[in-house]
Every structure is written in structure tokens, then in C-alpha cells.
Amino acid sequence: MKKHYNTHRGAGVLFIIFSLLFFLLFARFLQLQWTGKADGHVLAAKAEQQHKQTRTIEAKRGTIFDRNGTILAQDVPSYTVVAILDPEMTTDPDHPRHVIDPEKTAKKLAPLLGMDVEDMERILTKKAKQVEFGSYGRNISFELKRKIEALDLPGIAFIRDTARFYPNGTFASHVIGYAQKNGENETVGKMGVEKWLDRYLREKDGYVSFAGDVNGFRLPAAKEHIVKPDNGANVYLTIDGKIQTFLEDAMNSVEKQYRPKKMIAIVADPKTGKILAMATRPSFDPNKRDITNFLNDAISYPYEPGSTMKVFTLAAAVNEGVYNGKETYRSGSYKVGPNTIRDHNDVGWGTITFEEGVQRSSNVAFSILVKEKLGEDRFLQYLHRFRFDQKTGIDLPNEAVGQIRYRYPIERITTGFGQGTSVTPIQQIQAATAIANDGKMMKPYVIEKAVDPDNGKVVLDHEPTVVGEPVTAETARKVRDILETVVTAEHGTGRPYQIDGYGVAGKTGTAQIPSAAGGYLTGRENYIFSFLGMAPADDPRLVMYVAVQQPQLDVTETGAAPVSQIFTTVMKSSLHYLHIEPDEDKQAEPETAGRRALDSLIGQTAIAAAEQLKEKGYVPVVIGNGKYVEQQLPRGGERLLPGERVVLKTDGAATMPDLRGFSLRDAMKVANVLGLRPSTKGTGYVVSQNIRPGAEVRKGDYLIVELAPPRQWEEAAAKKEQEAAEREDDEPHE
């Protein structure tokens, strides 16, 4: 009985304990149900957080195009190389997932990343679970990723990302600029259009969220919440890729030959103000960001322009009716108070007409126009009319403005021929549109429009803008007629700028460079040589400014040599490209322009044709093993400068020549003659080609050439040769 009593007693105690626990749990349940909170946390939110799965939907930064729709900047997949060093990552010894041989891995991987083998080996032997290779291993291309994967190196893996890619390399670099990742892994514009329109180009990622299990799988009947990605707007520039290519190629050639300190060139449509091409040297590759000058000198570099300023002094005099080209004056020197202004040859040319003074670029002639004809106050008004006292407002960052120095009597006179007062190249282009566009001065711009890629809506649109009419249409036409004689007259300083079939109106400039010690630099090369020209002269479709600072000239050369090489090449190619028909009456004198008509060599033996070209100073490029010439480029009748390449295709099997060292233009000649489909990478001079020299080719084959800048192509070519030699050495020999 006692045992039975104890059993019931124990059961009662347990019943009471479990009842209390039950009531406590039930009370807690009621509290949670009633309040929906536990320890201050909302349970519904906590549950949603545990079950909610979120996936990022990547957005894309806006693409930058030229006016023809060619891509200039875009987002592309990129990869970061990582090395896994943690042995615990390997579960199967036969299939290791970490780096097991640092020395072997470094020897194979370092050359592909451009690293030193010893540096890589030190990284691979660190006490860490995972390592990267700094800038060498970041932003690598898909092609390089595949090459690394082919090595089959244990422990080498990749992290996928996106990178900003500039397919043309050094190409309008200061205009396009560049963008790069910041500390929050956002792509941000840092220069040029990338910076100016960053708020339009910038993207915002979207996401999709849904209820899922602990493994991340979506639960049945779970609803999705989608926030669409906001892609950046696509930007279309006024830059014309073809004309920009002409400009880059010409500047590369001059840079290689003359090694100047700076070069600036702008090509614009004077009817609209659109900038069709703009380039400076030194430049950079936006993919590498090898930048030595962070400013775009075409818009950010004010300097004393020299005699190109005379264009606007002349326009003011003509517009005021005080210019008489037949009137004479005494050249040589002109007194302004205690100062004496001299012509560039010091002694002048005796008593000459003002027309001849313009053609000879006489400082005395323009001093008289400002001092005695126009009057200093009236001339100042024209400087304001041409807006030399303010920025153009071009849609690029960091535009500077020159300074009109007009305090002292001597400064007022020297401004008339481009000394003392400073202006920027883009200010000169804007002012020149008034001369080329019958008095209407157009605001320059490089951004055509920005378009939302998701709905096609234009979110930014630029239209041509008239910013002033400093002179009348009649004055503009008269000034163009006078400036055309600067190029065509026997004693005109612009004779090197003649172009076959087109009238060119323009003015040369030789600007002095201020010295840090005071005064100006001396020496025949210490100038900024320039030319401001437009063509066709009777109705200009293009206006172009070129400046070359301190080129290394031969003893027989003048500063016009590098400047004219850029201007005539780009202007002629651009006029042809725009289908502007030449005028047969406008033929440049070959002995003056330095160009001679090429004979037709078709039908001659290849040996005789090549010898004939060499005798005339050209460089023959013979294609094929046939006996007779069946095609040539340039064609017979075209005018060439000595030293240019002439491609001769024989009647035999077509074979590929060695293009290393060729300019892009010369490489395209070969592609044209052979009927190949060309593709290029980079700018400058050819360092490699996909079709080996001597190989037979067929019409329609792809020709891929890699180019490098002038200062790098010799080194790159030598490296390619060394790699080829090493590959040959590695091959077994019989």
C-alpha cells in the first residue's frame, strides 16, 4: 500500500510540474501570437528573412558610340585570377583543388599575366587560404582566361566581374575619358565624356526575391518580387570614327618622325559645330590608363596662338570696311611707343600691299590694321564678338579660357597678331566657324544624344546652336577668298597646305613659348607651329586646327612640315570620305606640296616596277610570286609623298607580306588589294598579324592586326619575334 501511495504521490508531482510547464509554454505562445514579437524582434520579419532568397540582376553601364554607331566604350565580362592555398579545399588527392606546386604554377602562369616568376612564387607561398595577384590578375579578358584554364593548374580559379573596355585603345582618349571601379565596386567616370555624363551612363542593379528553403531553392507557389535593373543610357558622340582614325594615324606618324612635346588637332563641321575628331599627344590607352597628361589640351591649354589669330583681325578689318588689299605700306618694323614690332624675317620685304602682307604673315601689316585702321577699342569689341573672353561651353570637363591682355598699348597691338593674349584651340575653332559658316558662329559640341536602352527614350539631345554673328556673310566670304591666297600665292606661308582638287583657306601660326626664366624660348624648334584651315574654300564643309609644339626638325625642314603632314592627310581623306567632289581646277603644285603623281605600273614586271618606285623614293610592297603587276594601290595618277608605300599585286598566288612596322593606313592598303576582311586591335603601328608572312591568302579571309603606339611598337615587335623564336626552339628538330 505504501508503494502504491508513493507511486501516486510521484505521479501527482510530475503532473503538477508538467502542468506548470504547459501553462508557461501556452502563456508564451499566447504572448507571441498576440504581440508578434520575441526579445524585441518582429517574428514575421525574422521568418521572412530566413526564408527570403535574393538574387542580383546586374545592370549595365551605358555604351558610348561614335556618330555612326561604332562602339567606343562598353562594359564587358572580366575576370580576376585567384589562387587557393588552403589544403583543406582538397577532398580528393587525385583531383587537388589547391596549389600543390607553387614553383611550377608560377613558371607557367607568370608569363601570361606579365609578372615576374619569383614575385608570383612569393605570393603562392604565403600563409593564407586564398591570394590574388594585384593589378596583374585583375580585369583579364575571356581569351586570357581560356589560355590560363588550358594550363590545367590546380588551385587557380576565377572571380567573374565586369570591366569598362575601350576597343580602340588610344583613340580620342581625352574625349572619351575613362571609368573605373571605386571602393564600393561601382564604376565611376573619371575623365572626358565618361565623367561629364556619369549620371546618365551610370547603372543601378536590380534584384529578384522569393521564399526559399535553407538550400536556396524556391518554395512551391512562392511569389517573386522583381526590381528591374536600371541600365545606363547609351551615349552617341559627334565624333566620326573614320575621321578620328585618319587623325590618329596621321598624328602617330608625325609623333614617330618628329618627337614633338605636344600635338593638338581638332576637326569640326562649321555648319553645326559638331566635333568630328579631336586628339592630343601625349595620349593614353583608357584600358591601361597610362596617363601623363590628365588635361585635354584641345580645350584646357590656353597659349599665345601666334599668327592664326590674324584670321580674326583680318575679319574685323574687312567687316569694318577699313581693309584695302591693294593699299601699300612699309614692311619690316613698326614703332609702338618705346617698343618696336618686327616682321618674322626682321627686315621685311620693302613696300608691299596689305594683300601680300597677309600672305607673308607680316606682323607690321596687322599692327597697322589694329592701330591705324580699326582702332584699339573697336578691335577689342571684335575680340568679345568672337568670344575670346569666355569659354565655349563645350560639353567636356575642365575647359579653360584664355586671357585677353589689353592693358598696355603694346599688348593691344600684339594681340592682333597672336602674341601676349592667350586662347585655347577650341576657342579658335568656334571663332573660325563664323568665317566658314557665312558669319554664323556655332557652339562646338561632342555629345549628340543619350538614349535610355530600356525604352528607347532620348534623355539628352543636343542641337546646333548659333552663339553669335561677329561678321556678315559677305565679310566671311571675302576673308575666305583672302585666306585662300595665303595657300596658293607664290609667297604665301600656307603653300604646303595645298590639297589636290580642293581650295583651302587658312592661316599658318608660329607661336612663341614663354620661358620659365622670363621672356620667350629661343631656337628654331622652340615654337608651337600651327595651321587653322577650312575646305573647300568656297563653301567649307570642314574646319581644322593643328598645332605641333617643339618638333625635332631636320636642318632643311620648317615647322610647317609636321603640321602640313597632319592637315593635308586628314583633310583630304575626310573630304573624300564625305563624298565631297574635287574641283579639277583646284590642283596643287606638286613641287610645292611635295607630292608627285604616281605612274600606272600595271602590266610591268614586278622587278621593274619595284625598281622604278625605289628610284622615285617610294617603298614597294610586292605581293605574290607572279611575274607581272596586275593591281596597285595607290592607283596610277594619285599623288604621293616620297617615302610612302605602294602595294603591287602580281599575277601569281596571293601571299601575305610581313606587315610589322606598317601604319594602319598601309596595312589597309594590303587588305584592300587582297580583298581581305580586316580587323584591328589598338592604334599605331603593326606589331603582329594573324596570317603569317608568306602564307597564301584568299579573298574574304580575315586579317587581324595588332597595333602599338609609335614609342612602343619597336619594343612590342621585338618581343613578338623573341616569342616566335622561343616557340621554334621548343619544337623538336630532326
* Residues forming the active site: 307
Q: Is 114 buried (19+), middle (13-18) or exposed (0-12) by CB count in 10 A? A: exposed
DSSP bridge pairs for 681: 706
CA 483 to chain centre: 31
Check residue 267 and report its DSSP letter. Answer: E
**Cβ(166)–Cβ(285) under 8 Å?**
yes
CA distance 188 to 165: 13
For 650, residues 6+ apart whose C-beta sits below 8 A from its C-beta are 606, 622, 623, 624, 625, 626, 627, 628, 629, 630
In the structure grid, which three cell numbers stand for residue 390, read together? 569666355
CA distance 445 to 391: 12
Q: Is 596 buried (19+), middle (13-18) or exposed (0-12) by CB count in 10 A? A: middle
DSSP bridge pairs for 483: none
**Cβ(124)–Cβ(83) under 8 Å?**
yes
CA distance 691 to 678: 11
3-state secondary structure (DSSP) of residue 275: strand
CA 18 to chain centre: 82
Cell 551610370, residue located: 202
**How many other CB atoms sit within 10 Å of the CB of residue 90?**
16
In the structure grid, which three cell numbers stand for residue 469, read together? 554673328
Check residue 463 and report its DSSP letter. Answer: -
CA 177 to chain centre: 8
DSSP for 718-732, please give it: HHHHHHHHHHHHHS-
CA distance 377 to 679: 57
CA distance 563 to 257: 12
CA distance 414 to 309: 10
Between the alpha carbon of residue 535 and those of residues 218, 469, 570, the distances in Å are: 67, 20, 12
**Cβ(369)–Cβ(339) under 8 Å?**
no
For 732, residues 6+ apart whose C-beta sits below 8 A from its C-beta are none
Cα-based angle 382, 175, 534 (whole degrees, multiple of 5): 45
**Best CA proximity match to 537, nearest among 492, 484, 573:** 484
CA distance 733 to 598: 48
**Best CA proximity match to 483, nearest among 535, 443, 525:** 535
CA distance 365 to 319: 17
Cell 599575277, residue located: 651
Cell 510547464, residue located: 21
Question: Strands, E, within 454-541: which ranges?
Answer: 458-461, 466-468, 505-512, 527-535
For 499, residues 6+ apart whose C-beta sits below 8 A from its C-beta are 535, 568, 571, 572, 575, 586, 588, 593
Q: Is 712 buried (19+), middle (13-18) or exposed (0-12) by CB count in 10 A? A: middle
Q: Using H for helix, E for strand and C for coil, what is the string for 595-644?
A: CEECCCCCCCEHHHHHHHHHHCCCEEEEECCCCEEEEEECCCCCEECCCC
CA distance 308 to 305: 6
